[in-house]
Amino acid sequence: MSPTPAPQHAPLDDQRPAHRAQSPALVRIAERIEQDERLDGAVAALRPAAQALVAGRARRALLQGRPLGHALHPLLTDAPLGAWMSATALDVVGGDAARPAARRLVGLGVLSAVPTALTGLAEWAHTGQRDSRVGVVHAVSNTLTLALYGASYLARRRERHALGTAWGLAGALTAGIGGFLGAHLALARNVASRDVAFAESIPGDQRTVGPAPDDPA
């Protein structure tokens, strides 16, 4: 009797649970980013900078929000995003009289994006590989957003308001991409730092804000 042929393995995509195949497109995109090993080179390149940023006890505690009891980064994101979205609203409905206010809001958003990015990098420093990949794409999106709004501000300063508005609208688009990935990390992946007092809110959670008691200074 001939031996029974070995079963052929189905392609990886066919082995996914049915609920994954039926997930929204954005969910599938986020999963693909998590699993994309091509991002590992960028993760490795950025990791030393993140580790250096949180090397000191006091600096890490501040950047990761120890005085708050949870991550500082999500709170700070409201500043640049709020300023930029308000400027975009003025561009659309404010008319010529709103141009100075829109320019100031874009500038405030650019300035507040710097501490926001630093706290984000401090949060990213303790992520695992899957989350680090998403974090890299999130960072690239946000860096592009900052560049676009920076170009918008410069165009407005030169009285090129139509160009400044166009750069701002492009920035709003990339900000939406970065915001989606940031929310994915914070909500779906639970990567945000938190005080040990809140660890019980997520079963098995071991993350804490700032250094552990035996961490070197």
pLDDT score, position 15 = 45
Q: Is 71 within 8 Å of 65 (Cβ atoms)?
A: yes
Residue type, 21: A
- 44's tokens: 């490795």
pTM for this prediction: 0.81
pLDDT score, position 1 = 44
> How far is the C-alpha of 97 from the C-alpha of 206, rounded, in Å?
52
| Per-domain residue ranges of the chain | 43-201
pLDDT score, position 217 = 46
- 26's tokens: 């954005």
**What pLDDT, in 10s, does the model give residues 70-92?**
999 999 999 999 999 999 999 99
Three-class SS state of 70: strand
Q: Is residue 122 packed enough to be buried (19+ CB in 10 Å), middle (13-18) or exposed (0-12)? A: buried
DSSP 29-66: HHHHHHH-GGGHHHHHHHHHHHHHHT-SHHHHHHHTTT
- Kindly provide the residue ranges of all beta strands, DSSP E only, lying in 84-177, ordered along the sequence: none
For the chain of 217 residues, list the mean pLDDT of each consecutive stretch of 10: 42 48 89 97 97 93 92 95 96 94 98 97 95 98 98 97 96 96 93 80 53 45
- 213's tokens: 């008691």
Beta bridge partners of 70: 194
